Amino acid sequence: MYAAPTEASWSRSAKLTEFQRVKEAVRRLEHTAREQLALERESQNVFDFLKAEITRIKRSIGALSSVVDEELVSLRGECAALRDEVARAVDLAKSQTDSAVELIAEARKRDTEWMQTSFSQVKDSVARLEAESKETRKQLLELAASHASAAARREADAASSSSAQQQAIDALQERFAERSGAVEASCKALAAENGTRRDESVHLARLATEANTQIERLTHGLRTVHSSVEALQAKGQAERAAAQEEQQKREQAAGERLAEAQEGSARELARHRDAISLLVETVDSLTRESKAGDEALGGKLAEAAEEADSRGAAHERALRQQEAAVGSLSTDVDAVSDAVRRLEARLGSQQEQLQAVGGKGAGTAEQLLALQEQQADLKAQLSQAQAALRTIKASAKDAAESLVSHKTQSQRALDDLVKRSEGFSKAAAVFADALKVPNPLGGALPMPRRVSHGFGSPSNGTQHHFSELS
C-alpha cells in the first residue's frame, strides 16, 4: 500500500543527504591530512639529508684549508731556501771575482818586475859591451901611437911586433863579435817570447768576446722570462678581479632569492589566515601553489648549480694555465742557472789561464790592463745576471702567493654561500612549522656538493713546478 510523502519524511530525507555531504567532506579532509603528513615527513628527511651534506662539505673545506696552509708553509720554506742558495751563490761569485782581481794584480806586478829586471840586465850588458869596446879602441889607439913613436927605433922587429898586434886585434874583434851575437840572440828571444804572449792575449780576448756574446744571450733570455712573469701576474690579477665580481653577483642573487622567498612566505601566511573558513579549498590552493613554488625554486637553484659548475670549470682551466706558466717559468729558471754555471766555468778557465800567464811571467802592461778591464766587465755582467735571476725567483714567489690568495678567497666565498643557504633553509623551515604547511622548498634545493667543484687541493703538477724552482 502506497503512502503519500509527508512533511516529516521530506525533512528526514533532506537531513540524510546533508549528512552524507558532511561525511564525504570529512573523508576528503582526512585523506588530505594524511597526504600533508607524508609530505611533511618527506620534507623533514630532505632537510636532514641537506644538513648532513652541509656538515660533510664543511669538514672537506676544513681539510682543504689545512692542505692549503701546509702548501703555503712548504712554499715559504722553499722560497727561503732558494733565497739562501742565491745569497750563497752571490757570495761565492764575489769571492771568486775578488780572488781573480787579486791574481791579475799580482800577475801584473810580477810581469812588471820581470820586465824591469830584464831591461836592467840588457842595459847592463849593453853598457858592459860599450865599455869593453871603448877600452879596446883606447888600447888600439895607444898601440898605434906607441907603434908610430917606436917605428923608427923598432924597424928591425916591425914584422914580429906587427904580427903580435894583429893577432891581439883579431882576438878583440872576435870577442866583440861574439858579444854582439849574444846580445842579438837575447833580443830575438825576447821578441819571440813577446810574440807568443801576444798570441795568448789575442786568444784571451777571443774568449772574452765569446763570454760577452753568451752573456748577451743570457740577458735576452732573462728579459723574456721577466716579461712572461709580468704577463702571468697581470693575468692573475685579472682573474682575481673577475672572481671578486662574480662573488658579488652571487651574493646579490642569493639576497634577492632570499627576499623573494621571504615575500612568498608572507603571502602564503596571509592566504592561510584568510582561508581558514574554507578549509578544503584553502588546502587545495596551498597544495597547488606550493608545488608551483617548488618547481620554480628548483629550476632557479638548478640554474645556479649549473652556473657554479661552469664557474668551477673556468677556475680549473685558469689554474691549469697558471700551472703551465709556472712550469715554463721553472724551465726558464733552469736555463738561466745553467747559463750562469757555464759563465762561472768560463771565468774559472780564464782565471787558470791568467794564473798560467802569471806563472810564466810574460806579457806587457797594456795587455794586462785590457785583460783586467775585460775581467771587470765580466764581473759586472755576472752581477746583473744574478740580480735578474733573483728578480725572476721573486716574481715566481709572488705568482705562487697570488694563487694561494685566490684559493683562500674562493674558500671564503664558498663558506659565505653555505652560511646563506643554511639561513635560508632555517627560515623556510620556521615559516613551514609556524603555518603548519608543507615546506615549499622540500626536495627543490640543489646539492651543495656541486659548489665545491674546482676548489680542491693543489695538483701534483703545481707541487712539482714549485719544487723545481728550488
3-state helix, strand, coil in the chain (%, to 5): 90, 0, 10
Q: Which phi-psi region, left, alpha or beta, contains residue 411 (left: φ > 0; alpha: ψ -120 to 50)?
A: alpha
Please give the pLDDT value at position 258.
64
Quick one: average pLDDT of 71-93?
84
Q: Which residue type does 7 have?
A: E
- Inter-residue contact 425 to 43 (CB < 8 Å): no
- Closest by Cα among 416, 43, 426 to 246: 416
Instruction: Give the span between the Cα atoms of 321 and 153, in whole angstroms.
Output: 120
Neighbour-count burial of 111, counting CB atoms closer than 10 A to its CB (0-12 exposed, 13-18 middle, 19+ buried): buried
Q: What is the pLDDT of residues 238-286, one digit of tens each?
A: 776 776 777 677 667 766 766 676 676 667 666 766 765 565 465 456 5
Give residue 459's pLDDT band: very low, low, confident or very high (50, 70, 90).
Answer: very low
Between CA 51 and CA 56, with CA 53 as vertex, the angle to 5 degrees is 110
Residue 430 phi, psi (nearest 5): -65, -45
Q: Which of 71-80, 245-254, 295-304, 418-427 has the highest average model confidence (pLDDT)?
A: 71-80
- Inter-residue contact 165 to 147 (CB < 8 Å): yes
The upper half-sphere exposure of residue 299, i.e. CA atoms within 13 Å in the direction of its Cβ, equals 5
Residue 138 pLDDT > 70, yes or no?
yes
Instruction: Give the span between the Cα atoms of 349 and 90, in whole angstroms.
Output: 19
Quick one: average pLDDT of 33-57?
85
Neighbours of 432 (CB within 10 A): 22
Quick one: average pLDDT of 136-165?
69
Quick one: average pLDDT of 56-63?
81
- Closest by Cα among 246, 231, 225 to 406: 246
Residue 89 pLDDT > 80, yes or no?
yes
Neighbours of 157 (CB within 10 A): 11
Q: Which phi-psi region, left, alpha or beta, contains residue 3 (left: φ > 0; alpha: ψ -120 to 50)?
A: beta
Residue 183 CA from chain centroid, whole number: 68
Q: What is the pLDDT of residues 412-424, one digit of tens each?
A: 766 776 676 676 6
- Closest by Cα among 168, 142, 144, 147 to 158: 147
Q: What is the 3-state secondary structure (H, E, C) of 150-191?
A: CCCCCCCCHHHHHHHHHHHHHHHHHHHHHHHHHHHHHHHHHH
Q: What is the pLDDT of residues 191-235, one digit of tens each?
A: 677 667 667 666 666 766 776 676 677 667 667 756 765 776 677
Give the three cell numbers for residue 156: 928591425
| Least confident window among 80-84, 187-191, 222-226, 466-470 | 466-470
Q: What is the 3-state secondary structure (H, E, C) of 412-452?
A: HHHHHHHHHHHHHHHHHHHHHHHHCCCCCCCCCCCCHHHCC
